[in-house]
Structure 1
Amino acid sequence: MFTLLMSDLRAKQALYGQYGTPCSLPKAILADGTLANVLVRLQGQLVRWRLAPLALLPHVLNKWLNGCVIGVKTQFGPGLVLIHPVGVVINSAVRGGRNVWIESGVVIGDNRGGVPVIGDDVFIGSGAKVIGGLRLGDGCKVGANAVVTKDVPPGKTALGIPAVWR
């Protein structure tokens, strides 16, 4: 769990440092979303240890303290960044790759049994909805408030309602 948390913090440093001054580790730790990340990783670890009922504690704390609901069985690779966790809702069956950056108000959910699979190096903008059995390809971006219901190829940007990619 510590390794995952450190990779999440390094990804947050990269995010915050990409447009100017490098971001220090203490700044990344104190930035918005870090507590949400810690609680997501803790609930995932408890599920892996077959202590799923205990995983509900960090799940509920995340809802109360950070305003986000992220399923206890949700899995993301290293480098997950919840930039602003308020309003984020992620279904328990969602699987994500490494270096996934998620803004506030994002919903990633189920539609008739199909859940999204998120590739590596993906950015999901504020208010976006990613619904159903689709794939967000490696390196893609989802624009703010986009509603994605179909696959987005690697390296493309999905925009609009319904989202189209460019």
Structure 2
Amino acid sequence: MKLLLSDLRAKQVLYGEGGPPVSLLKVVLADGTLANALYRLQAWLARIGLAPLALIPHILNKWLNGCVIGVKAQFGPGFVLIHPVGVVINSSVRGGRNVWLESSVVIGENRGGFPRLGDDIFVGSGAKIIGAVAVGDRARVGANAVVLHDVPAGHTALGIPARMRPPRAN
């Protein structure tokens, strides 16, 4: 329950960026919240050794939200599915705190290697992160980018295949 609450708080921060604060009720009723809740339920069931039962919320997420997240995929607090439709995440994927995903994002394994995402990550609509790549803290992956190599901390990955853009100097 703590993880789900942290996810909702992170979504509240996202929705309040650049404007007035957003109520928790609005966040609960927003697109993606049910997908987040079902993911957290399946992850909890798998963590306590009830992996077969975890398939129930997994299948519900697929049917109701068009979102497939592997039963053993792990994300830290602040995980946000902004728009869950088309999101596909392999069971081996590991993500840190405050990972925010738009629609149609694919994070998948390739030849036994799987992505690892750091903290404070944003992944735009339609992006693909494939194979044994690391996405560093505070990195961004642009819409429709195809990431096949590591993304350094603070960089933005853009294009097909993705090229790295360094952070802006202040």
**TM class by shorter-chain length?**
over 0.9
**Distance (whole Å) between structure 2 residues aligned to residue 21 and residue 28 of structure 1:** 14
Q: Which aligned segments of 4 or more residues in structure 1 are displaced greater than 2 angstroms?
A: none
Secondary structure of 1:153's aligned partner: coil
Whether 1:30 aligns to 2:29 is yes
The aligned amino acid for 1:27 is K
Match of 1:45 in 2: 44
Instruction: Name the TM-score, length of structure 2 as normaliser.
Output: 0.96
Secondary structure of 1:130's aligned partner: strand
Secondary structure of 1:65's aligned partner: helix
Q: Percent identity?
A: 73
Superposition pairs for residues 1-166 of structure 1, below 5 Å? 2-166=1-165
Instruction: Name the TM-score, length of structure 1 as normaliser.
Output: 0.99
**Distance (whole Å) between structure 2 residues aligned to residue 95 and residue 23 of structure 1:** 29
Deviations 1:26-49 (A, max 9, x none): 001000000000000000000111
The aligned amino acid for 1:79 is G
Gaps of 5+ in 1: none
Q: How many residue pairs are counted as aligned between the two chains?
A: 165
Q: CA deviation at 1:19?
A: 1.7
**Distance (whole Å) between structure 2 residues aligned to residue 126 and residue 21 of structure 1:** 25
**Distance (whole Å) between structure 1 residues aligned to residue 22 and residue 81 of structure 2:** 16
Gaps of 5+ in 2: 166-170
